[in-house]
Amino acid sequence: MITVIFACVHNAGRSQMAAAFFNQLVDPTKARGISAGTQPGARVHPEVLATLREVGIDLEGVIPQKLTPELVNECRWLITMGCGDECPIAPPFVQKRDWPLEDPKGKPIERVREIRDEVRARIAGFVAENGWGSV
């Protein structure tokens, strides 16, 4: 089982979207996605909850979690989204990518939808590239 961590600062926007789309598109026998943040917020941003609900994903009640070195040591991939120098150094066996995605916090709902759709497209490409798609 391959674990992919999607990380941003507050674990309340981009990384939550990414993990939700990843787990929706991936074959669960091949991989799983989790999200975490370097400074986790108290809750997922309301505008993120709203735009994900529009596409059938409910993250109500999901609580952001801390990105720890221990968590990173358990993954095969670390996809960062704007945490910069705060993201932990990944061990050599962890493949790392940085996706420069805009933070949706406080943005108008139209812009959050655009960010959501960009995240979904990146996830779809990443899943296809690695052959993890569900049957």
- 95 falls in which pLDDT band (50, 70, 90)? very high
Burial (CB < 10 A; 0-12, 13-18, 19+), residue 70, is: exposed
Answer left, alpha or beta for residue 56, where phi above 0 means left and psi between -120 and 50 means alpha: left
Per-residue pLDDT, 92:
82
pTM for this one? 0.94
Mean pLDDT along residues 8-27: 96
pLDDT band at 69 (very low <50, low <70, confident <90, very high): confident
Q: Walk me through the domains of the chain, giving residue ranges and CATH numbers.
A: 2-130 (3.40.50.2300)
pLDDT reported for residue 85:
67
- Cα separations (Å) of 70 from 5, 67, 95? 12, 8, 16
CA atoms within 13 A on the CB side of 87: 23
- Mean per-residue pLDDT, 8-18: 95
Q: What is the predicted pLDDT for the residue at 88?
A: 65
Average pLDDT rounded to a whole number, residues 84-95: 76
